Amino acid sequence: MDDVFEKNGKLSLGLFSSNAQAVLEESIKLGVATHSDHIRTSHLFMGLIAFPDPGIVDWGQSLKADLKQLLMQFQELFHQEKAPEHPKLFLHREFLSDQVIALIREAKDRCLTHARKSIHPMDLLITLLNDSESVVVDCFQRIGITAAKLTEYAVLAESRCYTSGGSGLDAA
């Protein structure tokens, strides 16, 4: 795997599992729905919980969170009243925030470190939760859930769902 972008600037979707591709597509829809001009980490997180794979579901259960309710709360929190001039968003470098680009590159590195062939939703989630400047992490910290606890639950969910007889990360 080289860079996460093709030469034309499009995100190289072949690097992602089918579940992660669905998360990215959902992130675009949520970016448009919240009237954003870029896909930001909040949209990526919303995409993860809008289209949860077994690991994300397990993570939410560890938090005792209703993922649908959490999604609605994030949509309300990040909704912008003023619609952008260009309401269309694409999986292209130009429409991804710098923070999302860095996060995707780190998720790719995490995937390689774990000897996987494709980036999965848990790679995206765990990388997002490890970002000390993430607005998503800040939202959770404001209600008393630390980044360390969020990440711990995510790593445990990943382990439970994908390494001990689960569906397997490379299956999706």
At 85-102, the pLDDT tens digits run 556 889 999 999 999 999
Length of the chain, please? Answer: 172
Tell which wins on pLDDT, 86 or 103: 103
User: Tokens 């938090």 belong to which residue?
Assistant: 63
Query: Mean per-residue pLDDT for 148-170?
Result: 79
- State the Rg of the chain over Cα: 15
Say what the pTM is.
0.90
Q: How confident is the model at residue 170 (pLDDT cuts 50, 70, 90)?
A: very low
**Token pair for 81:** 């009243």
Please report, for residues 14, 23, 68, 109, the alpha-carbon distance to residue 2 in angstroms, rounded to integers and kept in the order given. 11, 21, 35, 10
Question: Quick count: other Cβ atoms within 10 Å of Cβ 67?
Answer: 17
User: What is the torsion angle, in degrees rounded to the nearest 10, for the CA atoms of residue 70, residue 73, residue 74 and residue 78?
Assistant: 180
> According to CATH, what is the number of the domain 13-171?
1.10.1780.10
Token pair of 7, please?
A: 């030469």
